[in-house]
Amino acid sequence: MSRASVKKAAQRAGGLESLEFGCSTEMTTNPPAPDFQNKNRAAILAELKQEKKKLIMQNQSAMNNPGASIPLSRPAFAKDFRDHAEQQHIAAQQKAALQHAHAHSSGYFITQDSAFGNLILPVLPRLDPE
């Protein structure tokens, strides 16, 4: 006898809402109907086709009017510029932190990328074991 038939018989007999078979009731629920899945897929495909048509129209209008379009390489340039400015800012912070550490400490520090975001790292001397 299958689990479904046992469950139906138990529900008719005692009005039980769920039975325990060592697994959750979510696993025994039925998947959505195939009609619903097909309709959902068709709706997604229709939406994708509309979006494709829209992008093609935009591309054609940009080709017909080249002065109005923005070159595709521009965002990459802006990103590179931003990255360079950020690197300069970090370098300035590292330099300031290094100067401060050398002025206020007897230790020795270096600038190095840290997995924890530290701008400078202390250099610890190795001591010979006695």
The single-letter code of the amino acid at 107 is G
pLDDT at res. 66 = 60
Residue 117 three-state SS: coil
pLDDT at res. 20 = 47
Return the residue matching tokens 């590292």.
94
| Distances in whole angstroms, Cα of residue 8 to Cα of each of 2, 4, 17 | 10, 6, 10
* Tens-level pLDDT at each residue, the chain (130 residues): 555 665 655 555 554 444 444 444 445 556 556 787 888 888 889 999 998 998 888 888 777 766 555 555 455 566 676 677 777 777 888 888 888 888 888 888 888 877 888 888 888 877 888 7
pLDDT at res. 41 = 87
pLDDT at res. 18 = 45
Measured CA angle at 105 (ends 103, 108), to 5 deg: 95
Check: pTM over 0.85? Answer yes or no: no
